[in-house]
Structure 1
Amino acid sequence: MEELQADETPTADGVSGRDRMRGQIVEVAAGLLAAGGRDAVSTRAVAAAAGTQAPTIYRLFGDKDGLLAAVLEYGFSTYLADKPPLDPAADPIADLRAGWELHIGFGLANPALFLLMYADTQPGKRPAAAEAGLAILRTRIRNIATAGRLRVDENLAAELVQAAGSGAVLALLAVPEDRRDPRLPDAMFDAVVAAITTPDTTAPGGTRNAGPTTAANALRAHLPELGMLTDGERHVLGEWLARITH
């Protein structure tokens, strides 16, 4: 088979032949991953399906791990594009639930990609795609803190939500589809929300039980807005508030 050349010259649409070939290979690899899991994404199989040769893959991606990292970015970019927009004015818990439901749906619809992203990772090294999702989650957690409803510090809350969401998907994927309990994701969400938030005091029957931790979380979330303080003062105040929330 004659190897396709990765031309660096941009075409009329501004995309070089190299980038076009790279995108084609990633799409082919993503299809093989979805159909047969990680083992199906060999350089030989991807090259054959993409109409090129293995040296092209090594030149564009370095090795198989580099190709899989590109597939993760490709798959997760679609996931992020489908995420509901962040709305600071919305109910922060409802906003968190919308992101949770998309996360669960994405994992169940793309099991091989999800396993690659959350189960087949190196210790201490989170894929860039997962980091991007966590950044969005942290913003949703910040909105809960701003509303004065976060009972634990923001980092712990974000890690708890991510662990619970990923754990729920992995638990569901571990059993045959016809034996999965559809109540699990909602039950898990309710449990983690109860662990990280206080009751809504504006809801009917709501009672105020904020306490110093919740108040400190809310003030920390508003620190960037405190323009009457110097950078040094905001830094010191942030350290004090962090001591309260930990």
Structure 2
Amino acid sequence: MESGRSRLIEATRSMLTEQPGRVPSTRELYEAAGVAAPTLYHHFGDKDGLLQAVAEEAFAEYLERKRTVPRTGDLLADFAAGWDMHVGFGVENPALYALMYGRAGHRRSRVARTAEAELRRGLERLADAGLLRMDVDEAVALTTAMAIGCVTRLLYDGGSATGPLAETMCTALMSELTGHAQELGPADHAAALLLARLGSTPGLFTTAEEALLRQWLRTLIEHVTPAQDAREQGAER
């Protein structure tokens, strides 16, 4: 038999999904769950505690889904895939997403902190590969703000998680984080891939050799594309 706690969580999720943008009253919640008020107070303390529990459950589902996203070894592509997953989850679960990143989510539950820690680790991998051009704290804040803003706008417009707006915002974020967009030219894409994978085979280079190679690859990423663009523009004249 389903416990009173489970029934309250399920009823709250259902009501939030059926009436997005509206938070039901305490009475509506325990009546929808078919329990008495003391059951809600016993398990959650108050309505905010119940909403927090629903947010925690949503974050747990989010993490489970995020961990199924395959890693390719290409740090830039993997980060972009994480963005796609986040936006897709938000668009598919608008009520839960609003709860996760709204008032209830501000209590910083354990699973919410875990979700942010996983984002931080992804950004730290970019930083360790020499691909991040700001500090990790700033990158976490920027990525979170742009992701929430993107999902919020898509929900407002009824847009698609794979549509032009989501793709444009992902490209803008990658450009701001790394200095170049996700869509790279052949030369700088190859350089970025090699830079991202340096260190994956311990002992291949000495510390000094790896540092020098990193410096050369960063120079290629920063300068090859502008030079190619200039040549292409000259050819068009």
- Whether these two folds match at TM > 0.5 is yes
> What count of residue pairs does the alignment treat as equivalent?
192
For residues 179 and 138 of structure 1, do their structure 2 counterparts lie closer, same or farther at Cα, with a shift above 3 Å needed?
closer
Report the Cα offset of residue 96 of structure 1. Answer: 1.1
Read off the aligned partner of 1:143 and give its amino acid letter.
Answer: R
Classify 1:174/1:127 alpha carbon distance in 2 versus 1 (closer, same or farther; 3 Å): farther
Q: For residue 27 of structure 1, what is the amino acid of its counterpart?
A: E
Change (3 A) 1:154 1:179: closer
* SS of equivalent to 1:39: coil
> What CA distance in whole angstroms lies between the structure 2 residues aligned with 1:144 and 1:137?
11
| C-alpha distance 137-58 of structure 1, shift in aligned 2 (>3 A) | same
Contact kept? 1:198, 1:209, Cα under 8 Å? no
Tell me whether 1:94 sits opposite 2:77 in the alignment: yes
Give, as a single letter, the amino acid of the residue that structure 2 aligns with 1:173. Answer: L
The correspondence for 1:187, drawn from 159, 162, 168, is 168
Q: Name whichever structure is richer in helix by fraction.
A: 2
Report what 2:18 is aligned to: 35
State how 1:11-160 maps to structure 2 within 5 Å. Answer: 20-37=3-20, 39-85=22-68, 90-120=73-103, 125=106, 127-128=108-109, 129-160=111-142
Q: Is the 8 A contact 1:137 1:158 kept in 2?
A: yes
How many angstroms apart in 1 are the aligned matches of 2:162 and 2:77? Answer: 23
2:24 aligned partner, one-letter code: V
Residue 207 of structure 1 deviates from its aligned partner by: 9.1
Instruction: Determine the C-alpha separation between the residues in 1 that align with 2:24 and 2:149.
Output: 25
Q: Does 1:168 align with 2:153?
A: no
Q: Which runs of 5+ in 1 are unaligned?
A: 1-16, 219-246
Deviation at 1:53, TM superposition (A): 0.7
Percent identity over the alignment? Answer: 36
Q: Which amino acid aligns with 2:44?
A: F
5+ long unaligned stretches in structure 2: 199-237
CA RMSD of aligned residues (A): 3.4
Name the SS of the counterpart of 2:3 in structure 1.
Answer: helix
Counterpart in the other structure of 2:187: 205
Aligned residues of 1:38 and 1:116 also touching (Cα < 8 A): no
TM-score by length of 1: 0.67
Deviation at 1:92, TM superposition (A): 1.1
Q: CA deviation at 1:98?
A: 1.5
Aligned to 1:229: none
Do the aligned residues in 2 keep the contact of 1:30 with 1:75 (CA within 8 Å)?
no
Residue deviations 1:66-89 (CA, integer Å, cap 9, x gap): 000001011221111111358777
Of stretches 184-193 and 22-31 in structure 1, the one that deviates more from structure 2 is: 22-31
Corresponding residue SS for 2:187: coil
